[in-house]
């Protein structure tokens, strides 16, 4: 997906996010969740991806628990809570569905942050919303920069403290205790804020030197809308239109309240699931195609 045109990337992720949040059918939720999970693993690798996946799993568990605790709709009562409210099967099912929808959305957003970089956002919205695009690009670029800088500060601090004795610590008699850890944390944050302010000043001077905001200023871009981009965009739009038509005709209908259930499975609904699966797994297939092309090129070389 990185090699596709920014317009194609933006339209695809807008479509997938919209469908992931609007389609609450269990099959659609499962497809979106599995596709987002596979693409996250494929993009970041298992080791890097599992850090964010652990926090996401915690959020999903909390969401699944909170809904039946506060929502008591439904006709199938399982038991009564200590407060006298009913715990219904429908509220549990909706809580689980909402948790998977939230998990899929978070994973898609993580992939978006990797694909839609700052230069692509400026390219997409620079002419229409120049101020907004600049703010978004700076925020999206600044957060990972601050994370890398904080990691660098921590590594430098740990190397500097190697071989220290008790007399070397600012707090006499305390070696790696809470007081020293708090002192070191405050010092690291202070260094990070100082660096961020200096970096902002340097960026402002650089933008002024390059004529940002002057009338008639043009911007150079390396993005070209190729035949492959047209093919991918056409496929995305065709699949999206087919899913929208199927949803309007009730092919993806599913209700959680007052009774959990939906329209029975038939050939038309199965075709909708297949098309939705192809659309969600599209970036996984494109990434596999690019890797296969790259490996074949290396073998020939």
The larger pLDDT score, comparing residue 217 to residue 46, is at 46
To which residue do tokens 């692509």 refer?
120
Residue 9 has pLDDT above 50, yes or no: yes
To which residue do tokens 């008591």 refer?
72
The larger pLDDT score, comparing residue 105 to residue 50, is at 105
pLDDT digits (tens, 9 = 90+) for 239-259: 999 999 999 998 898 998 888
Residue 174 has pLDDT above 50, yes or no: no
Residue 6 has pLDDT above 50, yes or no: yes
pLDDT digits (tens, 9 = 90+) for 53-89: 888 888 899 988 888 888 888 888 888 888 777 888 8
Q: Which helix (H) or strand (E) holds 79?
A: strand 77-80
Where do the DSSP E strands lie in 93-164? none
CB atoms within 10 A of CB 190: 11
Task: Tell whether the torsion through CA atoms of 279, 284, 288 and 290 is positive or negative.
Answer: positive
Backbone angles phi, psi at 276, to 5 degrees: -65, -40
CB atoms within 10 A of CB 75: 12
Percent of the chain with pLDDT over 70: 89
Q: Is residue 98 very low, low, confident or very high in pLDDT (cuts 50, 70, 90)?
A: very high
> What is the structure's pLDDT at 293?
80
Mean pLDDT across the stretch 276-284?
96
- Return d(Cα 222, Cα 242) in angstroms, integer: 33
Altogether, the residues listed in the chain come to a count of 301
Mean pLDDT across the stretch 158-178?
58
216 to each of 52, 142, 205, 208, 212, how far by Cα in Å? 43, 28, 20, 15, 10
Lowest mean pLDDT among 20-24, 91-95, 217-221, 271-275: 217-221
pLDDT digits (tens, 9 = 90+) for 176-235: 566 767 777 888 889 889 988 888 888 778 877 777 767 776 666 778 899 999 999 999
> What is the structure's pLDDT at 166?
52
pLDDT digits (tens, 9 = 90+) for 99-113: 999 999 999 998 998
Side-chain half-sphere exposure of 16, counting CA atoms within 13 A:
29
In terms of Cβ atoms closer than 10 Å to its own Cβ (0-12, 13-18, 19+), residue 208 is: exposed
* Tokens coding 256: 């959680």
Residue 48 has pLDDT above 70, yes or no: yes
């Amino acid at each position: 997906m990185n090699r596709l045109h920014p317009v194609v990337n933006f339209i695809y992720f807008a479509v997938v996010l919209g469908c992931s949040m609007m389609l609450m059918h269990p099959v659609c939720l499962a497809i979106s969740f599995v596709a987002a999970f596979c693409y996250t693993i494929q993009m970041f690798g298992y080791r890097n991806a599992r850090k964010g996946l652990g926090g996401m799993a915690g959020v999903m568990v909390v969401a699944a628990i909170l809904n039946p605790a506060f929502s008591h709709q439904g006709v199938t009562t399982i038991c009564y809570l200590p407060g006298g409210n009913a715990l219904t099967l429908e509220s549990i099912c909706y809580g689980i569905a909402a948790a998977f929808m939230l998990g899929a959305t978070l994973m898609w957003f993580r992939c978006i942050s990797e694909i839609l970089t700052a230069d692509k956002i400026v390219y997409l919205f620079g002419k229409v919303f120049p101020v907004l695009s600049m703010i978004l690009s700076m925020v999206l670029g600044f957060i990972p920069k601050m994370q890398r800088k904080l990691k660098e500060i921590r590594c430098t601090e740990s190397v500097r403290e190697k071989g220290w004795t008790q007399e070397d610590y600012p707090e006499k008699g305390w070696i790696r205790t809470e007081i020293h850890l708090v002192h070191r944390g405050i010092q690291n944050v202070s260094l990070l804020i100082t660096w961020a302010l200096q970096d902002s000043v340097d960026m402002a001077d650089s933008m002024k030197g390059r004529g940002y905001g002057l009338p008639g200023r043009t911007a150079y871009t390396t993005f070209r809308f190729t035949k492959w981009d047209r093919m991918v965009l056409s496929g995305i739009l065709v699949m999206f239109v087919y899913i929208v038509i199927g949803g309007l005709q009730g092919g993806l209908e599913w209700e959680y309240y007052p009774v959990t259930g939906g329209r029975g499975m038939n050939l038309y609904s199965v075709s909708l699931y297949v098309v939705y699966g192809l659309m969600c797994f599209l970036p996984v297939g494109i990434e596999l195609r690019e890797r296969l092309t790259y490996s074949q090129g290396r073998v020939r070389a």
